[in-house]
Amino acid sequence: MTRFKDKHIVITGASTGIGRATADLIASEGGKVTLLARRPEILTQAVEKIQTAGGIATSFAVDISDKAALIDSLDKAALTQGPIDGLFVNAGTSGAFAPLGSYDDALFEDVLRTNLISPFWAIKHVLPTMIERKQGAILVTGSLASERGMANNAGYVASKHAILGLSRATAIEAAPHGVRANCLIPGFIETPLMGNIDDAIAAQLCSKIPQGRMGSAHETAQVAAFLLSDQASHVTGQSWAADGGVLGGLMV
């Protein structure tokens, strides 16, 4: 399959998990991928793997919460591999678990900066060129916390509710110009972050999933790639869950 032939897709948070799986998949289908993340050594390994498999990839190490560095990396990506056809804003942080009354003010601001404000910067930077070219796809990574409340994690929930709103606002504004925007809603997915949790907690989480298991990064990447591809040409302004049925039930 070559549904991404000649397409340039930029992915943040691309060194591990869903971001890396999506980069691998898009590159395997003919796309040119630019990987953005903080750790240069892991980025280099990811790019080498793609190139060894015959794909086209480059990377830039960047902390997306640094506005100047983020904009510079997006400009370098366009200079290196051509205009950006797809932007997958996937990088994020979980913040901390604490009651609202004792949630640290600085941490709350940091979570919003990473999960909401930096995606706003990225979208704001690439959208004008997409509109000018009358084509483009933007995808942001939300969360079950984009659709449901969660106790003791106000920063994360607030940021993930807001990123869904940002994607919808972008979608409606950009729709007349041939540009789409959607929000990916991963459920409980087997990623390095989830790999750190206790087995008992993992079992408890799985008990809430109608399918009875966690999803894989590859399964989630399949959904992300679809939403970034022309196969989803009439899909915009949507929250698209890859959650094994969690949001379809009465209980989360």
Compute CA 164 distance to the chain's CA centroid, rounded to the nearest angstrom.
12
57 by DSSP, 3-state: which?
A: strand
Q: What is the pLDDT of residue 224?
A: 98
Q: Which residue has the higher pLDDT, 252 or 79?
A: 79
Q: What is the spatial distance between Cα 21 and Cα 198, in angstroms, rounded to a whole number?
A: 24
pLDDT digits 0-9 by tens, 71-121: 999 999 999 999 999 999 999 998 888 888 899 999 999 999 999 999 999
The answer to whether residue 184 scores a pLDDT higher than 70 is yes
Active site residues: 156
Angle at which helix 17-28 crosses helix 40-52, to 10 degrees, equals 30
CATH number of 8-242: 3.40.50.720
Q: Is the dihedral of CA 155, 192, 216, 49 positive or negative?
A: positive
What is the CB neighbour count within 10 angstroms for residue 40? 13
Structure tokens at 112: 């919003």
pLDDT digits 0-9 by tens, 133-174: 999 999 999 999 999 988 888 999 999 999 999 999 999 999
